[in-house]
Structure 1
Amino acid sequence: MASPADGYSSPVGKTGPLRICLIASSRFPIREPFAGGLEAHTFALAGELHRRGHVISVFAAPGSRLGFPADELGVSSFRQSAAARADVGAPPQRWMEEHHAYLGLMLRLASHGARDFDVVVDNSLHHLPVAMAPAVPVPMVTILHTPPLPWLESAVDVAGSTGTFVAVSAAMSRAWAHAVPSTTIRNGVDPARWTPGPGGPDAVWSGRIAPEKAPHEALDAALLSGRAITLAGPVMDRGYFDAEIGPRLGPRARYAGHLDHTALAQLVGASGVALVTPTWDEPFGLVAAEAMLCGTPVAAYARGGLVEVVAHETGRLAGADDVEGLALAVDAAAALDRVAVRAHAESVHGLSRMVDEYERLFGDMLSGQAAA
């Protein structure tokens, strides 16, 4: 068992280091460059828990690289037979692969969970861990990273109040209140990985390039503000990119590609302002917290968790889908003091704060289990 970092006193207290099963995506590996915020969150959470001396076992897509030795809970593969594929109601192969992988994991946890783990943390957004939670003999935490999804909401309804639910923002807690009560633990970002940059005259946008993230509106707002802009992130919807992004690129708007952490942090830190432009109620807004830890102020739409993440000290908010208002927010945000932006973000959105709260939650869950 790993030893806690020198001088660190775990908030878990007498329970000491824990054996934690962390359930991640069976589709996207936990490795750089990350497919999205969920994978980045899993990487950060697992790494800090490991640093604090906990024993981490991770269920994630093959090829994951966490940066430390961890027990890998294998993702079992599945190929439909010709007879199964011939059924007129056969679901897509990828859907069946995910179903098969999570079903195998949950059956394993149901039979051997008490022997192998103290706590299970579901960070997957898949419905089967939630639906099968009543069969798992150890405390289980499900982290709600999105507004209600049909399959996940159905699983919550079936499983009832089994387990503990954590929302990554108060906005997400309210969105799920009709289905399940949740504790709010806002996401945290590692200040050692997102270090202060010098800033610059240009704007930056980072994240998944998909319609719900609306980077085309960031391009338009930057143009209105008179700033050049660089986009970075994985292209999740090629049709959207070709229709809305490609035609807007040019001398003052470029796409840098899907960058690894080092290159992305350098880009964000060398920018004068970061734009965040969701067309949905953003569950948290991890890219905003990352930018602010680089000292880069944020101009964002006031949607979902971004209202909680972007404070007056660190950025400016515009009305949802208001490109002209966002351009004005860009100008106002760019004038903020970068040192103050970093200091505020480090105190409010730091990784240690987030993991402190998870450790306290684990301790409360285990104390409750022992009392029961």
Structure 2
Amino acid sequence: MTLPGRPLRVAMLAPIAWRVPPRHYGPWERVVSLLTEELVRQGAQVTLFATADSLTAAALSATAPHGYEERPDASGAGPDGAALDVKVEEALHLGSLFRQAGQFDVIHNHADFLPLSYAALVGTPMLTTIHGFSGPGILPAYRAAPGNTFVSISDSDRHPDLTYAATIHHGLDLSELTFNPRGGPHLIFFGRMHPDKGAADAIRIARATGRRLLLAGIIQDHAYFEREVRPHLGADVQYLGSVGPAERDRLLGGALALLHPIHFDEPFGLSMTEAMACGTPVIAYRRGSVPEVVGADGGYVIPEGNEAAAVRAVHAAVTFDRSGARARVERLFTARRMARQYLREYHHLLDRLADTQGSRPAAPRQLTRSQVTS
């Protein structure tokens, strides 16, 4: 559908766990930022619904002052000093967007399943990017929303019970990631400190190669970190905490390889594309999206748990063609490509709505206050 005489108006709904873009951790928020800024560059009129401290070239609409995961006091506080529940903050965030729904052509939901329950109450069509499933318990919310449009972030992350309009891989702003043709001698692990991500496996692999390992990421499972990671820290294994974009560029580009020995079905894995953008090969277990993202030119995909194969891959990485990894990202994983694919899906969504109604969609209606708060 061609909108007469004006740009496409997009409501971009971000989660409010972290700022957009995140200061360090926050993969969903990072993708929202990359997409929002590129859509603005490509001429869309975007309003970003995110935390008030978010940074964007789009219009910003906010109810939460900052991300609830970034508060020093986990309970938070409202204007009257009373503690705010996270679900209350999310309800206020969603209510603000859906009260304004009539101002937009498309709502793009990155905030998981909860907005699906509001979508049928407004005329503005909604596209939902499914960034991954926290567990089977949330699937009923998706099954109960057959009129919604779903986009997967990898072919491997598609659930058989759902119908998808497209798979759109995440894209990067390559100006933020410097190609390093030489790399360095150390290895790097970049991810949550959690059994799923395999930090303990990375330590064993690195030690078997005799190479220094740098670990970066938030501590999500404290018991796992204390049991499996902390006892091994020292000169050859260092934990750097959760690092921001500038340090991420330096660390990834200066590594011989990124170790990604995961034990879960990775929905996408931004750190893999970021490493490849720097020229650093990925050494990862074959789970979820890993073969799809890494391919044959981005690193080494090995059977899960095969640490001997991972050690051999580290030795092979010395002669790896780092330019091939960068070229793969330039071809498949740029923010520009991601934004163009989403723009196409927005217009397909509007075309389908026009076909269903037999004409151009009527002006979207807005929720009343009673509908939002009931």
Report the equivalent of 1:165: 150
Alpha-carbon contact 1:36-1:207 (below 8 Å) kept: no
Q: CA deviation at 1:166?
A: 0.4
Aligned equivalent of 1:5: none
Q: Secondary structure at the match of 2:259?
A: strand
Q: What letter matches 2:160 in structure 1? A: A
Count of paired positions: 340
- The answer as to 2:181 corresponding to 1:192 is no
2:224 matches 1:240: yes
2:139 corresponds to which residue?
153
Structure 1 pair 185/100, CA: closer, same or farther in 2 (3 Å)?
A: same
**Residue 48 (structure 1) shift:** 1.0
- 1:129-165 CA-to-partner distances (Å, cap 9, x unmatched) read 0222211311111111113634531211222x12210
Distance, in Å, in 2 between the alignment partners of 1:208 and 1:148 is 15
Distance 1:31 1:252 in 2: 32
Residue 311 of structure 2 aligns to a residue whose secondary structure is helix
Offset at 1:192?
1.1
State whether structure 2 residue 287 is matched by structure 1 residue 300. Answer: no
Where do 5+ consecutive residues of structure 2 fail to align?
67-81, 358-374
Q: Distance in 2 between matches of 1:314 and 1:169?
A: 16
Q: Give the whole-Å Cα distance in 2 for the aligned partners of 1:57 and 1:281.
A: 33
Q: Distance in 2 between matches of 1:100 and 1:16?
A: 36
Q: Which residue of 1 aligns with 2:107?
A: 120
Distance 1:16 1:196, change over 3 A: farther
The more displaced of 286-295 and 327-336 is 327-336
**Superposed counterparts of 1:288-367, under 5 Å:** 288-367=272-351
RCO higher in structure (CA 8 A, sep ≥6): 2
Pair 1:44-2:28 in alignment: no
1:158-184: CA deviations, max 9, x gaps? 22x1221000000012xx121343421
**What does residue 265 of structure 1 align with?**
249
Q: What secondary structure is seen at the aligned counterpart in 2 of 1:166?
A: strand
Mapped to 2, the partners of 1:23 and 1:163 lie a distance apart of 15
Cα distance, 1:70 vs. partner?
Answer: 2.6
Distance 2:4 2:300 in 1: 43
Aligned twin of 2:16: 26
Cα displacement string for residues 310-336 of structure 1 (whole angstroms, at most 9, x for unaligned residues): 111110011113222222222234421
| RMSD between superposed Cα atoms in Å | 2.5
| Alignment counterpart, residue 64 of structure 2, candidates 66, 75, 80 | 75
Aligned 8 A contact 1:169 1:186 in 2: yes
Residue of structure 2 equivalent to 1:86: none
Cα deviations by residue, 1:38-86 (Å, 9 ceiling, x for unpaired): 22211211111122222222222443334x3532231399xxxxxxxxx
> What CA deviation, in whole Å up to 9, does each residue of 1:315-359 have, x standing for no partner?
001111322222222223442111222112211112211111111
Flag the 1:231–1:12 CA change in 2: closer, same or farther, 3 A.
farther
For residues 247-295 of structure 1, what are the alpha-carbon distances to aligned partners after superposition, in whole Å with 9 as ceiling and x for unaligned?
A: 1212111112222111110111011111112211000111000000001
Residue 211 of structure 2 aligns to a residue in which SS?
Answer: coil
CA distance in 2: counterparts of 1:101 and 1:137, whole angstroms: 24
| % same residue | 30
Aligned AA for 2:87?
H
Task: Provide the rounded CA distance (Å) in 2 between the counterparts of 1:12 and 1:298.
Answer: 42
Is there any run of 5+ residues in structure 1 with no aligned partner, and where? 1-10, 78-92
The 3 A distance-change label for structure 1 pair 107 and 248 is: same
Query: CA 1:193–1:12 in structure 2 vs 1: closer, same or farther (change >3 Å)?
Result: farther
Return the letter of the residue paired with 1:222.
A
Amino acid aligned to 1:27: A
Provide the TM-score with structure 2 as the length reference: 0.83
Q: Which residue of 1 aligns with 2:210?
A: 226
**How far did 1:16 drift?**
5.3
1:219 deviates by 1.5
1:55 alignment partner in structure 2? 45
Worse-superposed segment, 31-40 or 21-30: 31-40
Q: 1:278 to 1:39 in 2, by over 3 A?
A: farther
Give the TM-score, by structure 1 length: 0.84
Which of 87, 91, 102 matches 2:90? 102
